């Protein structure tokens, strides 16, 4: 990435920073009111909205996968209980292990969600600080996509 020399005004830096820090709705308002006034603010606010959209999709997919695991585990666990009740069944032990693993899923949810939230907060904070300093911040991968879409 080639860093461009830009000199945004104090107001532009503040608007870009609050777009990143406060998320989609504020970024949408900033974009709608400033899109024709500042390339810097337009890019940063669109990038902040794209970041929030991407994070929302990731969170919904994560929660969806966890719900499938939980409800699938419950359904399979009921079948596993039926299998384990028959001591002569050779599949009883693997079914018991599966039931134990599926019961651990609710414990794993915070282990996935909390680090994800921390990463999101740190990324948002870095973007806020960089844009407040007047730097042309780009999220890895996402910033390039936003920049390409604005070029067309």
Give me the residue spans of the domains in the chain: 10-147
What local confidence, expressed as pLDDT, does residue 67 receive? Answer: 78
What local confidence, expressed as pLDDT, does residue 37 receive? Answer: 94
Handedness of CA 48, 8, 15, 134 (dihedral sign): positive
Main-chain dihedrals φ then ψ at residue 45, nearest 5 degrees? -70, -40
Size of the chain in residues: 152
Q: Given the structure tokens 């911040």, which residue do they identify?
A: 137
Q: Which parts of the chain have pLDDT scores under 70?
A: 1-5, 73-103, 105, 152
What local confidence, expressed as pLDDT, does residue 142 receive? Answer: 86
Instruction: Please report which helix (H) or strand (E) contains residue 106, including its range.
Output: helix 105-132
Handedness of CA 84, 89, 93, 95 (dihedral sign): negative
Q: Given the structure tokens 């920049």, which residue do they identify?
A: 147
What local confidence, expressed as pLDDT, does residue 93 receive? Answer: 59
- Pairwise CA distance, residues 64 & 132, whole Å: 36
């Amino acid at each position: 990435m080639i860093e461009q020399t830009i000199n945004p005004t104090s107001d532009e830096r503040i608007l870009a920073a609050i777009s990143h820090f406060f998320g989609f709705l504020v970024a949408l308002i900033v974009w709608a009111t400033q899109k024709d006034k500042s390339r810097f603010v337009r890019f940063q606010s669109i990038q902040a909205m794209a970041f929030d959209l991407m994070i929302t999709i990731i969170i919904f997919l994560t929660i969806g996968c966890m719900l499938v695991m939980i409800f699938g585990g419950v359904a399979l666990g009921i079948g596993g209980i039926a299998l384990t009740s028959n001591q002569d069944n050779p599949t009883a032990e693997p079914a018991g292990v599966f039931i134990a693993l599926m019961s651990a899923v609710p414990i794993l949810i915070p282990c996935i969600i909390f680090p994800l939230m921390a990463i999101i907060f740190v990324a948002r904070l870095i973007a806020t600080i960089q844009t407040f300093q007047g730097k042309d911040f780009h999220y890895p991968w996402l910033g390039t996509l936003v920049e390409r879409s604005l070029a067309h």
